[in-house]
Amino acid sequence: MKKTGIFSGSFNPPHIGHLALANWLCEYENLDEVWFMVTPQSPLKSHIRLMDDRLRYRMVERAISGYPKFRASDFEFSMPKPSYSSDMLREIQKKHPDHHFHFIIGADNWTLIHKWKDYRTIIRDYPILIYPRLGYEADIPAGYPNIRRVDAPVIGISSAFIRQACREGKDVRFFLPESVREYMSDFSV
């Protein structure tokens, strides 16, 4: 059974922080692979303007191209909107019973998990790997054997930072894979 990490996010755009974290999880947490689950609008982040779903998916494909442990997924695009992580995890497990899915979230999302639909089901049914985010603590109450903080490096880059830098005409070549940077130049962020 493949040990597969589900790295769910808007990837608006995907950047080197996403790639470095996923690589670290494969190499140091022994995940066989990481699926970059490109999500439609998050119910808790409806104030954020997203680039087109397919555009973000294509950018993820370009960003991970050539690395055999990474896979782009548009699984949530066909799900009812709004899309919820609990529904996605249940459906993807049904479709791929040969995978042992681990849900990857940042410490920032862990602090909000109590606001998620069916969060108790996620906590109970799926191993959760919590990666560090600047300014957030990931306190895990006793009695949650499926939940673990990982000691991944903190990379203080966000998609919001990159979008703002692009609007300001800044050179972001070292924050994005070249294939994504070239692709984004044709689109307004």
State the DSSP code for 181. Answer: H
- Reduced to 3 states (helix: H, G, I; strand: E, B; else coil), residue 57 is helix
Q: Cβ of 182: how many Cβ atoms within 10 Å?
A: 12
The helix (run of H) or strand (run of E) holding residue 100 is strand 99-106
Query: What DSSP string runs through 111-169?
Result: TTGGGSTTHHHHHHHS-EEEEP-TT------TT-TTEEE--PPP----HHHHHHHHHTT
Measuring CA to CA, which residue among 42, 32, 20 is closest to residue 88? 42
Q: How far apart are the C-alpha atoms of 180 and 84, rounded to whole Å?
A: 27
162 within 8 A of 172, measured Cβ to Cβ? yes
State the DSSP code for 189. Answer: -
* Tokens read off for 97: 């019973």
The helix (run of H) or strand (run of E) holding residue 91 is helix 85-95
Instruction: Write down the pLDDT at residue 41.
Output: 74
Instruction: Write down the pLDDT at residue 188.
Output: 52
Q: For 129-138, what is each residue's pLDDT tens digit?
A: 999 999 999 9
Q: For 95-130, what is each residue's pLDDT tens digit?
A: 999 999 999 999 999 999 999 999 999 999 999 999
Tell me which amino acid residue 167 is. R
Instruction: Write down the pLDDT at residue 187.
Output: 53
Report residue 183's pLDDT band, with 50, 70 and 90 as the boundaries: confident
Instruction: Write down the pLDDT at residue 49.
Output: 81
Q: For 1-59, what is each residue's pLDDT tens digit?
A: 999 999 999 999 999 999 999 999 999 999 999 999 999 977 766 667 888 999 999 99
Q: For 49-85, what is each residue's pLDDT tens digit?
A: 888 999 999 999 999 999 999 999 999 999 998 889 9
Instruction: Tell the residue number behind the tokens 């022994």, with chain if given.
Output: 30
Measuring CA to CA, which residue among 162, 153, 104 is closest to residue 132? 153
Report residue 181's pLDDT band, with 50, 70 and 90 as the boundaries: confident
Domain topology for 2-184:
Rossmann fold (3.40.50)
Tell me which amino acid residue 57 is. Y
Decide the pairing of beta strands 99-106 and 2-9: parallel
Q: How far apart are the C-alpha atoms of 29 and 22, rounded to whole Å?
A: 10
